[in-house]
Amino acid sequence: MTRAPAIRVGLIGYGYAGRTFHAPLIRAVPGLDLRLIGSSDPTRVAADRPDVAVIADPYAVATAEAVDLVVIAAPNDTHAPLARAALAAGKHVVVDKPFTLTLAEARALRAEAGSRGRLLAVFHNRRWDSDVLTVRAAITDGVIGPVRHFESHFDRFRPEVRDRWREGAGPGSGIWYDLGPHLLDQALLLFGLPERVTAHLARLRAGARSDDWAHVVLDYPDLRVVLHASMLVAGGSPRFLVHGEAGSLIKRGADRQEQQLLTGLAPGAPGWGTDPDGLEIHDGSGRVTHQPAVAGDQRRFYQGVAETIARGAIDGTAALEAVRVMACLEAALTSARTGASVEPSLAPDERGN
């Protein structure tokens, strides 16, 4: 059997996301070949990836003949134009979250990818975290019966405002654009589209230039989903609180893959994705049992990308999911601005009706 040629990858951006997540995960997946990196700091890239060519111009990477798949890990306001250039050049595209700055941009990119038969996906790597996999399995197994309240937290303690674009005042900055896409994608994966979104965003740290606190409620007919993110939570908070008709689930600890990557652990190495913090299951009688956590593995995102491109089975699902997340993200922004609950602005075909 002849092995299919490797999918040649160009990575745009070698900041925190590109260096910590994308490059190691791409290199860990058979069938993907990281050929080119777009960065203004070639010395930094060479120190980590001496075998990979570096180009300063991001658009040169997006349109390079030697690349089949373009991964965009650049500042948020460059996502749409770079993705558009890559799709126009016939490339498959993965965009770091958030997908775009607006729902209109997301829709335009989805249409472009569909017309060209190219994969377009958002890097929702957090689908493959141990915490959400563990909770999802318990919900699917009906451990606590029908879920009526679901609470998801991305809380950190960073009281000092850092000098970086994610915490600046520019387009796409702030905690909701940064962490909201992960929180929304996991919620939509579990429960589908909400009827309404109600959001409160705030700047709570001294000197904050963009929102650093977000509290968002998704309304479903018989369920409320609470999504929360803050930069002022010392000691952390439970990652998930889930209440159902037959009991409750508490997942206290968060997935460790980001920390493992920061320490230099290679994806797939012994201990990769393991989570020592199990799931607490509380029943109505006050009894508490514990269930081991499912191991996480963010490589599965890029494994799925590689398999989809190799098979040519590009049905547009990933781009549609990205549009749905953007619709909910934008609904939250509108709600926070107006004080009203907002229905995500999606057409019937985008809802799947």
pLDDT score, position 3 = 64
Which pair of structure tokens corresponds to residue 349? 């075909």
pLDDT for residue 1 is more than 60: no
Q: Is the pLDDT of residue 70 over 70?
A: yes
With a cut of 90, say whether residue 6 has pLDDT above it. Answer: yes
Of the candidate CATH numbers 3.30.360.10, 2.30.30.700, 2.60.40.290, 3.30.200.20, the domain formed by 129-295+333-338 belongs to 3.30.360.10
Q: Is the pLDDT of residue 150 over 60?
A: yes
Beta carbons of 8 and 67 less than 8 angstroms apart: yes
Which residues contact residue 88 at a Cβ distance below 8 angstroms, ignoring those fewer than 6 apart? 63, 112
Alpha carbon 130 to its chain's center: 14
**Cα(250)–Cα(236) distance, integer angstroms:** 14
pLDDT tens-place string over residues 201-246: 999 999 999 999 999 999 999 999 999 999 999 988 999 999 999 9
Q: Cα 174 to the chain's mean position, in Å?
A: 15
Q: According to the model, what pLDDT value does residue 353 have?
A: 63
* Element housing 105 (H / E): helix 103-116
pTM for this one? 0.95
Strand locations in 158-244 (E): 196-202, 213-220, 223-230, 240-244
CATH 1.10.10.970 describes domain 7-125+301-316: no
* Residue spans per domain, the chain: 7-125+301-316, 129-295+333-338
Mean pLDDT along residues 317-345: 97
pLDDT at 326: 97
